[in-house]
């Protein structure tokens, strides 16, 4: 789907416009907004890749997505939600039975413990309704800030923060939007650069661009719509260095 939205533009594959090392905070903010605008045009349909029909399913899928791919999670959730269609059903589940269903996602014992514990917390403490605040969500087993941001932004349309996954971390550094390396500090810098109403879509755009173009080991700078705004770009020359 990411490929379908892409089209030839004057910006694609352009060398960097300038040396960004000496840009002011305001210049960085203006560049960041332009990056967002171009990526949002490039990926207008960008959204969370985890298949879900309601906040409960998204919460479970997001917890399962740790240390695995969204595709792998999407392979196991149909059976999981067939067996446990509601949060009440999962709250009453035997952990061993859940483990067998989600085994292929890795770390399945801990994940099963977390999703069953999360469900029990929702039933017992929140009247079986997935919470809509960061504080309440992060009080549930298995729900950290990143997971809570995914739930709030995609299930409820609440821009509480920016999801920082491996793609967002990599691209934020390459694009010179942050010098930080920890998710909390990266998120803080992104929050300072972008308007609140763009936080959820920003993460989607960076994730989709990371998957389609700005690969960790083989970034395709010549195909990049924001290459002229990227301090790491090697468009017109060598490719950007790989990232771990």
* 197-227 residues labelled b (16+ CB within 10 A) or e (exposed): ebbbbbbbbbbbbbebbbbeeebebbebbbb
Number of Cβ within 10 Å of residue 7's Cβ equals: 9
CA 32 to chain centre: 18
Catalytic annotation, pick one of 146, 159, 169, 189 = 146
115-139 per-position pLDDT tens digit: 999 999 999 999 999 999 999 999 9
pTM of the model: 0.89
pLDDT at 36 over 80: yes
150-209 per-position pLDDT tens digit: 999 999 999 999 999 999 999 999 999 999 999 999 999 999 999 999 999 999 999 999
Our answer to whether residue 146 is catalytic in this structure is yes
Catalytic annotation, pick one of 70, 89, 165, 215 = 165
Torsion angle, alpha carbons of 145, 148, 150, 156, to 10: -150
The overall average pLDDT reported for the chain is: 93
Our answer to whether residue 45 is catalytic in this structure is no
H or E element in which residue 160 lies: none
């Amino acid at each position: 789907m990411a490929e379908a939205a892409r089209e030839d533009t004057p910006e694609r594959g352009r060398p960097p416009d300038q040396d960004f090392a000496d840009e002011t905070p305001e210049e960085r903010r203006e560049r960041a907004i332009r990056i967002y605008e171009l990526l949002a045009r490039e990926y207008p349909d960008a959204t969370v890749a985890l298949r879900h029909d309601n906040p409960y399913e998204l919460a479970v899928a997001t917890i399962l997505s740790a240390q695995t791919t969204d595709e792998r999670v999407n392979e196991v959730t149909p059976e999981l939600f067939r067996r446990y269609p509601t949060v009440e059903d999962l709250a009453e589940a035997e952990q061993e039975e859940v483990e067998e269903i989600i085994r292929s996602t890795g770390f399945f014992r801990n994940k099963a413990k977390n999703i069953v514990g999360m469900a029990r917390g929702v039933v017992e403490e929140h009247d079986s309704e997935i919470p809509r605040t960061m504080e309440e969500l992060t009080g549930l087993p298995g729900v950290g800030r990143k997971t809570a941001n995914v739930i709030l932004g995609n299930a409820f349309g609440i821009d509480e923060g920016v999801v920082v996954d491996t793609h967002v971390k990599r691209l934020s550094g390459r694009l010179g939007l942050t010098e930080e390396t920890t998710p909390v500090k990266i998120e803080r810098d992104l929050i300072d650069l972008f308007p609140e109403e763009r936080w959820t879509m920003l993460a989607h755009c960076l994730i989709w661009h990371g998957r389609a173009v700005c690969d960790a080991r083989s970034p395709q700078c010549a195909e990049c719509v924001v290459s002229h705004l990227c301090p790491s770009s090697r468009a017109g020359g060598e490719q950007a260095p790989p990232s771990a």
